[in-house]
């Protein structure tokens, strides 16, 4: 069929598509062109006009970022927080799925699942609020226990020694249950005959979990691991923003919070855009690289 | 499985597993219980027993009374949140479903290019500042619509939905065409009813996002009358500012700060805690539709 008649034939579907595509053009593609301000000197008081009138400055803002003290600080914090979350959160969900899978009491299993998914549906504001109250030095639950056993109360959220642990633990608390869903789903796909055969050979429950269940979900584990590598530069912007304070900037400041402060509170639009663009390019390389590896391993890839 | 008798070792393992998971469940619940209890203690009890208690001696509604009957801030914030959940989710679904349905048409000329255009937005974006400038330039700042329009379509949800449409048999539409149905009739009378499971799941995803989101509102909205409940809650939790001072003067024994904060958390979380057990299974299903099948 020639192109034009084919297009005419489908005109109803183009009408359907139009509003959605328009949305992506306006709210995703126009901001993409907005990144030119990373290469300009923009005064926020000029507003959008500055995009066209500002002077080109090349890589000035990038160089300033790379040479600043903040660069290493912010990169280190981002990778450390994100890396710890991966290190502790990732295996935790797999372990929970394995334990849930071994439960034979169906009602109890449902109840545990329902409870463990719950924190995933709670707003970050509430999670941050819970953390602040439980960790408060003024009678917070944790400090009450510490004091009860004769210790000194600890100002967890204001102490550089503890801040990252709080982020990581609250992340695991919030995500372990929801993260286990995929693994549980993958486990239902394992051939029950394999377990029968293992029993015949005298394998106990632990050996079955180790030799059948775990290998059975390995493809899903691999995909999830690769996906999370793509998100390595996302260390959890909203929670850090809600919980951190100048006292812990040194260990808590991540790329996203730095962009937020430089851009929206200091009004250094061009510089903040440059930092954001730097992050975005690295993240894109990570995602594309991760997908390439996934394709190599599974033949399918994530897209 | 039932044909096999559990050995002693397995019984020990089962018991250990049950205890472990029960303890874990408590770890998820205790923070909520502690906040619930704390929201009920009176100023007098708080002075005597400390800011936090696990079991209050006497249930005191002082904090709720103050938050819900003196001042309209909470009600107003609830109205804003309700608006964004209802109107926002409806628009999300309308825009997402139409685009997904169009992009699921296998014979559509130019389909691959259009899919690519959407897909690229998932791996590259302008970032915080260019987005902020755009919202400012189009005049959405400090408007209720800023809570709805900039997040109209999530590319991720769009692709889940498109995958669903792609699983519907083509013969269905072909036979409807033979019976003389127009594309619009096919969409409304056949496709939409058949897609209710997917539409409901994606709708729930969008609705929970609207309910929980705060960051957009916190940077784009200045007037207090347009702030959703999550932003009000953040202000109270972070700064402890509950009401303007003139209203506080009329309260003899204001509830302690921790009690007020707890009550705020309960008030703004209760609706989702109440509906959550009922909608949870749909989420689980939707999650599986989206990711395992891909």
pLDDT tens digit sequence for A121-168: 899 999 999 999 889 887 788 888 898 898 899 999 999 999 999 999
- Indicate the residue of B96, B234, B276 with minimum beta-carbon distance to A121: B276
Average pLDDT, rounded, for chain A: 90
Residues in Cβ contact with A247 at an 8 Å cutoff, skipping those fewer than 6 apart: A158, A159, A160
Confidence of residue A241 (pLDDT cuts 50, 70, 90): very high
B chain contacts of residue A182, beta-carbon cutoff 8 Å: 287-288, 291-292
A chain contacts of residue B51, beta-carbon cutoff 8 Å: 136, 138-140
Q: Is B151 left (phi over 0), alpha (psi -120 to 50) or beta?
A: alpha
Average pLDDT over residues A11-25: 96
Is the Cβ of B278 closer than 8 Å to some Cβ of chain A?
no
In total, the C-beta contacts within 8 angstroms joining chain A to chain B are 261
Q: Please list the alpha-helical segments (H only) found in chain B.
A: 8-38, 43-49, 62-69, 73-103, 111-123, 128-137, 155-167, 170-178, 183-185, 192-194, 196-212, 215-220, 229-239, 245-248, 257-288
Choice between B55 and B13, residue whose per-residue pLDDT is larger: B13
Per-window interface: A 29-48 vs B, CB < 8 A? 29-35, 37, 47-48
The span from the CA of A286 to the CA of A273, in Å, is 20
A31 and B134 in contact by Cβ < 8 A?
A: yes
Is the Cβ of A108 closer than 8 Å to some Cβ of chain B?
yes
B212 and A124 in contact by Cβ < 8 A?
A: yes
In chain B, % of residues over pLDDT 70: 87
CB atoms within 10 A of CB B19: 10
A104 and B14 in contact by Cβ < 8 A?
A: yes
A34 and B95 in contact by Cβ < 8 A?
A: no
A139 and B277 in contact by Cβ < 8 A?
A: no
B125 and A31 in contact by Cβ < 8 A?
A: yes
A chain contacts of residue B30, beta-carbon cutoff 8 Å: 141
The span from the CA of B237 to the CA of B258, in Å, is 9
Name the nearest CA neighbour of A101 among B1, B276, B278.
B1
Angle (CA) A142 A143 A149, round 5°: 100
A103 and B18 in contact by Cβ < 8 A?
A: yes
The span from the CA of B64 to the CA of B73, in Å, is 13
pLDDT tens digit sequence for B190-203: 999 999 888 988 99
Instruction: Give the residue carrying structure tokens 């937005």.
Output: B121
Is the Cβ of A197 closer than 8 Å to some Cβ of chain B?
no
pLDDT tens digit sequence for B232-284: 889 888 776 555 544 555 556 677 788 888 888 998 888 888 888 887 777 77
Give the residue extent of every domain in chain B: 62-294
B chain contacts of residue A37, beta-carbon cutoff 8 Å: 129-130, 133
Confidence of residue B293 (pLDDT cuts 50, 70, 90): very low
The span from the CA of A119 to the CA of B208, in Å, is 13
pLDDT at A252 (0 to 100): 95
DSSP letters of A180-209? HHHHHHHHHTS-HHHHHHHHHTT--HHHHI
Confidence of residue B2 (pLDDT cuts 50, 70, 90): very low
A chain contacts of residue B152, beta-carbon cutoff 8 Å: 23, 27
A chain contacts of residue B34, beta-carbon cutoff 8 Å: 133-134, 141
CATH class of B62-294: mainly alpha
Per-window interface: B 107-126 vs A, CB < 8 A? 107-110, 114, 117-119, 121, 123-126
Q: What's the number of CA atoms in the CB half-sphere (13 Å) around residue A60?
A: 13
B133 and A19 in contact by Cβ < 8 A?
A: no
pLDDT at A51 (0 to 100): 81
CA distances from A226 to A237, B31, B232 (A): 21, 32, 38
- B140 Cα to chain A: minimum distance (Å): 12
B129 and A3 in contact by Cβ < 8 A?
A: no
pLDDT at B292 (0 to 100): 42
């Amino acid at each position: 069929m020639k192109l034009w008649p084919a297009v005419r034939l489908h005109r109803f579907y183009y009408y359907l598509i139009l509003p959605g595509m328009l949305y992506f053009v306006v709210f995703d593609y126009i901001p993409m062109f907005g990144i030119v301000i990373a290469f300009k000197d923009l005064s926020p008081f000029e507003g959008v006009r500055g995009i066209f009138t500002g002077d080109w400055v090349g890589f000035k803002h990038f160089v300033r970022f790379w040479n600043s003290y903040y660069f290493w600080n912010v990169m280190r914090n981002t990778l450390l927080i994100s890396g710890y979350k991966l290190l502790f959160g990732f295996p935790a969900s797999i372990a929970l799925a394995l334990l849930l899978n071994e439960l034979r009491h169906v009602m109890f299993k449902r109840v545990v699942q329902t409870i463990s998914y719950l924190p995933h549906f709670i707003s970050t504001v509430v999670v941050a609020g819970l953390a602040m109250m439980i960790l408060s030095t003024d009678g917070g639950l944790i400090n009450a226990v510490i004091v009860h056993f004769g210790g000194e109360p600890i100002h967890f959220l204001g102490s550089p020694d503890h801040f990252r642990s709080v982020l990581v633990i609250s992340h695991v608390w919030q995500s372990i249950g929801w993260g286990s869903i995929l693994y549980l789903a993958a486990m239902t796909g394992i051939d029950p005959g394999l377990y029968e055969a293992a029993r015949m050979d005298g394998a106990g429950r632990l050996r079955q979990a180790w030799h059948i269940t775990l290998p059975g979900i390995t493809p899903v584990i691999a995909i999830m691991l690769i996906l999370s590598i793509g998100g390595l530069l996302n260390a959890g912007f909203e929670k850090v923003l809600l919980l951190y304070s100048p006292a812990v900037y040194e260990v808590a400041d991540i790329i996203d919070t730095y962009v937020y402060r430089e851009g929206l509170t200091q009004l250094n639009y061009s510089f903040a855009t440059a930092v954001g663009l730097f992050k975005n390019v690295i993240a894109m390389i990570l995602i594309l690289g991760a997908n390439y590896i996934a394709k190599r391993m599974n033949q399918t890839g994530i897209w | 499985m039932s044909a096999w008798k559990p050995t002693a070792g397995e019984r020990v393992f089962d018991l250990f597993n049950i205890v472990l998971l029960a303890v874990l469940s408590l770890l998820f619940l205790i923070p909520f219980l502690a906040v619930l209890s704390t929201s009920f203690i009176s100023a007098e009890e708080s002075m005597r027993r400390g800011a936090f208690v696990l079991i209050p001696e006497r249930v005191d509604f002082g904090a709720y009374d103050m938050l819900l009957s003196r001042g309209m801030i909470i009600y107003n914030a609830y109205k804003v949140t309700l608006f964004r959940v209802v109107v926002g989710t409806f628009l999300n679904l309308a825009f997402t479903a139409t685009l997904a349905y169009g992009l699921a048409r296998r014979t559509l000329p130019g389909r691959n290019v259009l899919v690519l255009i959407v897909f690229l937005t998932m791996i590259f974006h302008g970032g915080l500042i260019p987005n902020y400038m755009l919202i400012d330039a189009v005049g959405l700042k400090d408007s209720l619509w800023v809570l709805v329009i900039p997040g109209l379509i999530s590319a991720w949800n769009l692709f889940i939905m498109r995958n669903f449409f792609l699983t519907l048999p083509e013969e269905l539409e072909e036979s409807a065409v033979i019976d003389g149905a127009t594309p619009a009739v096919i969409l409304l009378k056949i496709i939409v009813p058949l897609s209710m499971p997917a539409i409901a799941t994606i709708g729930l995803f969008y609705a929970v996002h609207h309910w929980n989101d705060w960051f957009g509102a916190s940077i784009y909205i200045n007037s207090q009358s347009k702030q959703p409940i999550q932003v009000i809650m953040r202000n109270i939790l972070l700064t402890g500012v509950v009401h303007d001072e003139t209203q506080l003067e009329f309260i003899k024994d204001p509830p302690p700060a921790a009690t007020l904060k707890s009550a705020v958390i309960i008030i703004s979380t209760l609706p989702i805690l109440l509906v959550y057990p009922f909608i949870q299974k749909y989420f689980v299903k939707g999650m599986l539709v989206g990711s395992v099948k891909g």
